[in-house]
A and B are shown apart, each in its own frame.
Chain A
């Protein structure tokens, strides 16, 4: 495997730190005062009910939307306020797998995976092709190089999208709802792929999901967002939170069960 295309980042125990982040759409505040940190090599889930701002948080973290307030740091370096050149370099430390793969529809799978290499490395055409083949093998899509995205199934598109996200051997990979629209077996395989990725390359993984099965199978830690609170209501080991969280909303979510209404003494964890 080729060495990571980006230089190893400066010190710090954390791969990602989010501090006091506030996100809004026009005047509507979606998230406020969100802070958490993701350790290196961790599989970290951002969970929560529909409309709680999970995807918004992701879009803020990867810089698609500038946060209204707060900072996102990668490996101790400020990403939010970095000058554009530095910021661009930092973009290469992470890859993003979008919900439907977001493959560029006019290019073949090969061209999709090769484009990041073409833009950011000086590999020869031949070497690029080899890396493309390697990445596709890694996600179990060998032989589909010349297919157009429209000719692939939903699961295959996601895997091809993952191959593209992995093209530059990023240190962090973000997954936006990886199991959405996939059958249980395909999504299980994707989970295995995620675990494998961490084991082989030590990649830090951040997943936005509300798929309980995946959460308990592969997550090391989670943060749970909540719509009314507009922020984090729990953080920690999902199994621990499921059984011992003091917040009924967290237990309900993780147990997939409504609890009988209690007194109003629920404190945020």
Chain B
């Protein structure tokens, strides 16, 4: 009818711009709360709209993009602009509840915006229940009446309403709601069903998965150890493409640059050992044996161990992260298609660097640990002069202690390199995969360090070293 269409009971749309259509729209829409029209139409008829609607405080906003406070003016799909209701009373989202004949009808109205004031379904229910209504409703019906605008907040409300209905076994219906909002709600329901199917595996599957994981893990470690052995053989025969420069860089990183932290930790461990030993030994008047205790503990155990643990966190994680991101970026594939073994090129220099640097760091760690112990022994209550401390220590600590420490250190170095590189090569091709690889590298190296330490304890005991 003359280019004007009533699209909802409270909104009209001007389909075709003409003065006549405009007049008709005002007429047809005298009770309307919204007018839909094209942007051009809105622009052209701004003055007229304003003149007519200003009486009821519904003046048209300037035909510009965006929003002006309290007035909304935005685009709909297909280039159709929509001028929403500007009256104050309807600007807030409302849900009015009425319970009659077992039907709980919820009338939603106003402007439903996520960013604006929202209505919570649970509050609505609480309000109804406060009134002391007797029976539970058998139907929950949501009716749109005077709904100005809506977004996901309305779908959220409906979702809760539906869940509420399901909880009390009531029927859920909607009436007069925009088609899109119903579709959105259905979308959410469908989504839930898909989620419900993906559950945690049951016990047997979990056990099976874990066994499978252990098997694969063992295979991977054995595989890498094997490849490393082949690589060493190739290196000995002079066939390997060993990157000396990479090896030296890694030595610098894992050795020289780790000196401060390894030094600090070893020193403090020496201090702690001296205090602990003193507390026990003083009760027997055996103060002087603090030197023996600190000396043996540091040289045989704590020096290599502390250096190894620091390097596991520092260098092992770095190896895993580096190789992991190289893998994610297909750099490792690029080596393989060039016919270069990534083990020769990436793993060996790193393992060699750690294998060489770890014993050196262990000696350094020994020195600082003993120094820490000596410092404490010199102070009250022990009052053992450094010269005496050193002389006493020499009576018990000999070269075999030092060598056992160094053998351990070199082994730890190889283990840290192995686990760092293994986890890096195993990493998934993603950012999260790199993070997990770094974590796993630290865990694996510390585990291997402690296990190998225990094995060494047994072996050295048998050998009497």
Contacts and interface: CB of A to CB of B under 8 A. Distances in A.
A81 to B, nearest CB: 17
B331 A105 contact: yes
Contacts of A233: none
A114 B339 CA distance: 15
B117 interface: no
A168 B419 CA distance: 34
Contacts, number: 48
Interface of B: 241, 246, 325-326, 329-331, 333-340
Interface in A157-212: 161, 164
B347 to A, nearest CB: 15
21 contacts: A59-B333, A63-B337, A89-B339, A91-B337, A91-B338, A92-B339, A95-B337, A96-B333, A98-B330, A99-B330, A100-B329, A100-B330, A102-B329, A102-B330, A102-B334, A103-B334, A104-B326, A104-B331, A105-B326, A116-B338, A161-B334
A91 B241 CA distance: 16
Q: Which 6 A/B pairs are nearest by Cβ-Cβ distance?
A: A102-B330, A91-B339, A88-B339, A98-B330, A102-B334, A96-B337
A64 interface: yes
Interface in A115-170: 115-116, 119-120, 161, 164
A152 to B, nearest CB: 13
A120 B339 CA distance: 10
- Contact-size category for A: 20 to 34
B129 to A, nearest CB: 51
A5 interface: no
Contacts of B329: 100, 102, 105
Most A CB contacts (10 A, CB to CB) among B241, B331, B334, B340 go to B334
B336 A63 contact: yes
B97 to A, nearest CB: 46
Most A CB contacts (10 A, CB to CB) among B241, B333, B336, B337 go to B337
B334 A62 contact: no
A111 to B, nearest CB: 10
Contacts of B331: 102-105
Contacts of B339: 88-89, 91-92, 120
A24 B381 CA distance: 71
Given A88-B339, A102-B329, A104-B326, A119 B241 contact: yes
Contacts of B246: 106
A96 B334 contact: yes
Contacts of A119: 241, 338, 340
Nearest to A59: B333
Interface in A46-63: 59, 62-63
Contacts of B241: 119
A47 to B, nearest CB: 21
Contacts of B335: 104
A160 to B, nearest CB: 12
Most A CB contacts (10 A, CB to CB) among B326, B333, B335 go to B333
A265 B358 CA distance: 70
